[in-house]
Structure 1
Amino acid sequence: MSESSRLSTSERIEIVKWYTMYQNAGEVARQFQQCYDRTPPTRKNILNRVRKFDETGSVEDEPRSGRPRSVGTDENKERVRAAFEESPATPLRIASLNLNLPKSSLQRMMKELGLKPYRPQLLHALNEGDPDRRCEFADIFLKLVAKDSSFPYQIVWTDEATFKLNGHVNRHNCVYYATENPHIDSTQEINAPGIIVWAEIWSGGLIGPFFFRDTVTGRSYLEMLDEKIVPAIEYQMNLEEIFYMYDGAPAHYQ
């Protein structure tokens, strides 16, 4: 008896779902072993199972005889339209599984229905007074440039990027299917936990990067300033002639 035939229908469905989630056969095998407490299918079997499902829309092994029945009926198109109206962010493979349709047929019907993939735009969360402060900053900046054209070259611009360990929105995997662009924005909090990479840029180049292992606090930021950031700036510039531009993170004002 082949390894594939020993899998139950529910196990095959879970394999397809896990692969859709992780896009990694090794991770699917780990999930299988944790869930069912037995030896998982091989990587080859997992990939073959997913490929077969994409081609046929079924997780079963029974061969199909005769000419394949067309699935592009008006009834199925209506099912597809209704499914994505209700859950526009459903991954194609999961939708194929739920609707019991081959992935290729599903994609063809979606094209006929005018359903296109749209990805959300990532935005930082803005506080109520932030737009006014931005305008104030722009006015001050323009006045300083008018007074001294070399002013921009004296600015040290700083910023950090948070690389989250979980929960981060990946725009390539987060897709909304609709006939028109829904203009979906995904708000991203600035102080989300994770590994933080900090760096600064000025007219002479890049300074850094430096790493925060934990969420940045006033104390940890001050320690980084004293021990690494200020010495690195001083090595390249005269501290009395620079403007140090904070990026607005709350820890900078604690």
Structure 2
Amino acid sequence: MDRLSEKERIEILMILGYGDVRRRQQETCNIFNNLYPNRNPITRSTVSKLLKKFNQTGAIKDLSKSGRIKTATTEDKSLDVCVMLEDDPHLSTRQISRELDISQTSIMKILHDNKFHPYKVRLVQELSDDDFDRREEFADTMMEKCYDQNNPNFLNNVMFSDVATFCIDGNNSIIPELARLFPNLIYFRKNERSDNNVNATIISAILQNPYKPKFIKIGQAVSEIIEAFHT
């Protein structure tokens, strides 16, 4: 229903009357709707609410919708949240909520208002200076051997393997970073680290059982698989 103007509200009360000279609410609706045929008709509920408001407040204006005073999303609180994220962008909304005693809903609103977005970390293997040349050399050598007519069974004697690494310090790839601009999150993992590796190999189109080396280097584990295959 269309919102009533102050003039229309006054007119409804005048049509309704006062004291001993008062019309019924339905009759008031009919008269008002006939005066304004081009607008949505009012109902008895509209007249009843308007009369109740006038009797309680002595006014026809709507009460100001002040609601609760905003305390969680004030400028000071917003500044505290932004400063915390500038110092440590890996903080979660739950951690910020506990630290500042603000609800997570308010934290999310502050982040949205200040254009913060979560960015996912991308972990890549750290390469040394000579890794690029070694990779290119290996690729050229393998291409020559694959097309060597004197050794057509070369690929049948090649062991293809892959290693799954389980980090003991957790999966950092699922930890987002909150920032205003794209931070290009690429973290390099060093080759020497305390991880747990699981190796699986394919030899002559046969998948070998996944192998979990215990307290030995992965290179030694692969050597043991090769020796077992040839024996």
> TM-score when scaled to structure 1?
0.54
Identity of aligned residues (%): 22
Q: Residue 120 in 1 paired to residue 129 in 2?
A: no
Residue 207 of structure 1 deviates from its aligned partner by 1.3
Match of 2:161? 158
Cα distance in 2, alignment partners of residues 200 and 103 from structure 1: 47
The DSSP-based 3-state class of the residue aligned with 1:101 is coil
TM-aligned CA distance change 1:97 to 1:150, over 3 Å: same
RMSD: 3.0
Cα distance in 2, alignment partners of residues 191 and 212 from structure 1: 16
TM-aligned CA distance change 1:137 to 1:93, over 3 Å: same
The DSSP-based 3-state class of the residue aligned with 1:210 is coil
Cα distance in 2, alignment partners of residues 203 and 91 from structure 1: 48
TM-aligned CA distance change 1:94 to 1:225, over 3 Å: same
TM-aligned CA distance change 1:209 to 1:101, over 3 Å: same
The DSSP-based 3-state class of the residue aligned with 1:127 is coil
Q: Which runs of 5+ in 2 are unaligned?
A: 1-65
| 1:8-87 correspondence to structure 2 within 5 Å | 68-70=68-70, 71-87=72-88
Query: Any conservation in 2 of the 1:201–1:207 contact (CA below 8 Å)?
Result: yes
Match of 2:111? 110
Cα distance in 2, alignment partners of residues 160 and 141 from structure 1: 20
Q: Residue 139 in 1 paired to residue 136 in 2?
A: no
Cα distance in 2, alignment partners of residues 85 and 108 from structure 1: 17
Match of 1:230? 227
Query: Any conservation in 2 of the 1:162–1:193 contact (CA below 8 Å)?
Result: no
Q: Residue 95 in 1 paired to residue 92 in 2?
A: no
Cα distance in 1, alignment partners of residues 179 and 204 from structure 2: 44
Query: Any conservation in 1 of the 2:125–2:190 contact (CA below 8 Å)?
Result: yes
Deviation string for 1:138-163 (max 9, x for gaps)? Answer: 22233334445875555311233332
Cα distance in 2, alignment partners of residues 125 and 197 from structure 1: 20
Query: Any conservation in 2 of the 1:162–1:196 contact (CA below 8 Å)?
Result: yes
Deviation string for 1:61-81 (max 9, x for gaps)? Answer: xxxxx9543233344333322
Computing the radius of gyration over CA atoms, which structure comes out larger, 1 or 2?
2
Q: Output the amino acid matched with 1:163.
A: F
Q: Output the amino acid matched with 2:73.
A: G
